[in-house]
A and B are shown apart, each in its own frame.
Chain A
Amino acid sequence: AQTVTQSQPEMSVQEAETVTLSCTYDTSESDYYLFWYKQPPSRQMILVIRQEAYKQQNATENRFSVNFQKAAKSFSLKISDSQLGDAAMYFCAYRSIMYNNNDMRFGAGTRLTVKP
């Protein structure tokens, strides 16, 4: 079974600085999706960024980028020029592309605090 591990329960960053959130996963599959979701105090789960395992190029979305290391099964999220609105819980998630194994597995989350 696939597992997702986020080893940093809490992280803190100064406004306008850069922070990296770590995520590792375990799988025997060769193709899959990886995601970072953000959950602000409103509890809405918001997609931040997605990566397809067959793509070697790291995904980027404005201030958010990932460092995808397939061999190491690592998928870290870098937030540049941090803003107060970035404060939230961040969840790393894995999803198989196989039809009969279609649920998304989440890590335990990292709580990001942004200091003004």
Chain B
Amino acid sequence: NAGVMQNPRHLVRRRGQEARLRCSPMKGHSHVYWYRQLPEEGLKFMVYLQKENIIDESGMPKERFSAEFPKEGPSILRIQQVVRGDSAAYFCASSPPGRANTGELFFGEGSRLTVL
């Protein structure tokens, strides 16, 4: 039973380029969360999605950042026109729906974005 899969593990971009980070939740999980972790800090919530719906994007920067979780395929976190301050580790997590939900989030291994 595969866990949460994130790719790429490492991504290097130059300022002004676009970064796309992908996340496939655990089998049977319909809830996806994206978190950002700056060096030596905890994880900061960005966005919560279900299939084809953004439920809560209160942690997303208003510009350049977007997320989707289409009916088919992985969830994608997209960062346009990256700046050096976007360099961080981006974690995806998933949880099951309804009664199977015990509150725990299952995390991927993260994608480390470096902006030159």
Tell me the A residues contacting B by CB distance below 8 Å. Answer: 4, 33, 35, 37, 42-45, 47, 50, 52, 91, 95, 97, 100-109
Q: Indicate if B63 sits at the interface (CB-CB under 8 A).
A: no
Contact assessment for A45 and B103 in the assembled complex, using a CB-CB cutoff below 8 Å: no
Of the residues B45, B55, B109, contact of A104 by C-beta under 8 Å: B45
B34-77 interface code vs A (CB 8 A; 1 in, 0 out): 01000011111100100000011011000000000000000000
- With contacts A108-B42, A109-B41 taken as known, whether A50 is within 8 angstroms of B105 at the C-beta atoms is no
Q: Which residues of B contact A (CB under 8 A)?
A: 31, 33, 35, 40-45, 48, 55-56, 58-59, 89, 91, 93, 102-105, 107, 109-110, 112
Interface pair B107/A102, CB less than 8 Å apart: no
Q: Which residues on B sit within 8 Å (CB–CB) of A103?
A: 33, 45, 48, 56, 58-59
Residues of A within 8 A of B45 (CB): 103-105
User: Which single residue of chain A is at the shortest CB-CB distance from B112?
Assistant: A43
Task: For the complex, give the distance between the alpha carbons of A63 and B26 in Å.
Answer: 28
9 A-B pairs (CB sep. < 8 Å): A43-B110, A44-B107, A45-B91, A97-B103, A103-B33, A103-B45, A105-B45, A106-B42, A108-B41
**What residues of B have a CB within 8 angstroms of the CB of A107 in the complex?**
42
Chain A minimum-CB-distance residue to B43: A106
The distance from the CB of B81 to the nearest CB of chain A, in whole angstroms, is: 26
Give which listed residue, B31, B41, B56, B107, contacts A45 with CB less than 8 A.
B107
Enumerate the 5 nearest inter-chain pairs by beta-carbon distance, A residue then B residue, closest first.
A33-B103, A45-B107, A106-B42, A103-B45, A106-B43
CB of B41 within 8 A of CB of A95, answer no
- Give the chain B neighbours of A106 by CB distance below 8 A: 35, 42-44
A109 to B41 Cα, complex, angstroms: 7
Pair A50/B48 contact, Cβ less than 8 Å = no
